[in-house]
Amino acid sequence: MISGLTPAGFAGASVRRLALIALGIGVAGVAVAAPFGFLAVALFGCLGLALGLLNIVLLHRSAARFAGSGSAHRTRKSAGGVFGRIALVTVLALAIAWLARPDGLGVFLGLVTFQFVVIATTLVPMVKELRGTGAQA
């Protein structure tokens, strides 16, 4: 376990860290885009960041339920949960983009940005740990 946290505690800390980073990116995006007349795109980008965060929260809930399940059909339930979660986020993003076009396309900018943040916040600790153990990355 990292830093003595339980898996649930680590997941909660991870979500809080991602929420703070997303908030900072959203505020910075609005501050940069508003003077150029792209306030609506920036706000929809913030909505995309929120959808990405919702996806992560649902992922952590699903993982906790999967880990606590003793069912023999865990894999099938997990796959169904993954599909449902991705479908929910995709349908919401497409609906927002279509209903508020063209500015609504900013929701995809937010989703993409959030995925880069997730990758970076996952990759950096892994590389540090690999360097600490002397393993080659």
Mean pLDDT of 121-127: 87
Whether this prediction's pTM lies above 0.85 is answered by: no
> Which structure tokens are listed for 80?
């169904």
Would you tell me how many other CB atoms lie within 10 Å of the CB of residue 45?
A: 27
Domain tally, the chain: 1
| pLDDT surpasses 80 at 67 | no
| pLDDT surpasses 90 at 74 | no
Question: Where in the sequence is the domain holding 17, given as residue range(s)?
Answer: 2-133
Q: Where are the alpha helices (DSSP H) in the chain?
A: 7-33, 39-68, 74-99, 106-133
Would you state the pLDDT for residue 50? 97
